[in-house]
Amino acid sequence: MQIKSRQATGEGRERVEVVPETLDDLWHLSHVVEPGDHVSGDTTRRIQRNDDTLRDKGGEREPMWLKIEVTDVEFAKFANRLRIGGEIVDCSREDQLGFHHTLNVEEHTELTVEKRWKPDQNDRLEEAVEATENPDVAIATVEEGEAHVHTVAQYGTEERASITSTTGKGDYARPRDELFAELAAVLKRQDVDAYILAGPGFTKQDALDYFEEEIPDIAAQITVVDTAAVGDRGVHEVLKRGAVEDVQQQTRIAEEADLIDELMARIGEGSEVAYGPDEVAKAADFGAIETLLVLDDRLREERSGEGDWDVDVDHIIETTEQKGGSVTVFSAEFAPGQQLSNLGGIAALLRYRLD
């Protein structure tokens, strides 16, 4: 995600111009944009007159800039787009004011969002920006006598190292280990969350065996992928198979799973934990929350007025952060989020028990 500009517009509102660069960015925006926000950008539209009839232009759409007051948001994952619908409140053609329009936001679509930004929504934007700027997956491709390391960011790949060495088995065991040692040293320098080890034949498995002995923490984060080549061609094969997306998704799920496991363990022990909106709100007011866990779907429902909680979810989030706690928003699409849903959609790991 790129943030191109931010501007205060008064009454606590801020106008932010963003450029989503990946499907993940569209997903983040679907949890930021909500009814009542103003969203603007360039689009196309079949022209309507005030009598609600379509002008006969042979089905052609005219380009224009417009701003809508949002009424509905839909993340169409399988269509790779975000649909934001609402009433046109400003437009390059005044005769279109008051009509309904849907903005189809795709990757690299520039749009502006004006709203009262809540702390967790700002955090979500920053998370998307950091995901773009910082590589989070390293791909090591290796075969006899040759190894390469690339990092993958959401904007593309970059080669970090290219290593060549005389290798072999038997009398050549030491040079082979030297290749693996140099590759291990490069991997240790990468600031990433996960690793993919790829290449043809059995060399990659031998390399993994070496890593499990020498760099076990990194080895535990490695996913092995078969490819026919190494270097740029091997990386292309890895990307084409969707292995990077799978690893990134599994990394996010793993982080959520660790939190939900800790939550369930504490529930079983009757220790420092709260779940359900009322108990969590009480814990927030006491300043007892260390980590707040909230489900994205419930967060959206409560903010839109469609939920049934008797407490203000934004007050819980703001109070938690003001008193030094952290907030993790879970995805309802994955198993940890489904577990959290069964607990009412909100829970907290506490600093101390509330009796």
Set out the domains of the chain in order of their start, with CATH numbers.
2-133 (2.30.30.870), 137-241 (3.30.420.60), 254-350 (3.30.1330.30)
In the prediction, which pLDDT does 268 show? Answer: 92
Which residue stretches of the chain have pLDDT < 50? Answer: 54-59, 134-135, 154-155, 172-173
**Given phi > 0 = left and psi -120 to 50 = alpha, else beta, which region is 101?**
beta
Q: Average pLDDT of the chain?
A: 86
pLDDT at 304: 74
Give the per-residue pLDDT at 340.
93
Quote the DSSP letter at residue 242: T
Measure CA 18 to chain center: 15
For residue 42, the model assigns a pLDDT of: 93
* pLDDT at site 79: 63
Contact 273, 266 (CB under 8 A): yes
- Residues in CB range of 283: below 8 A, 6 or more apart: 274, 289, 348, 350, 354
pLDDT given at position 332:
82
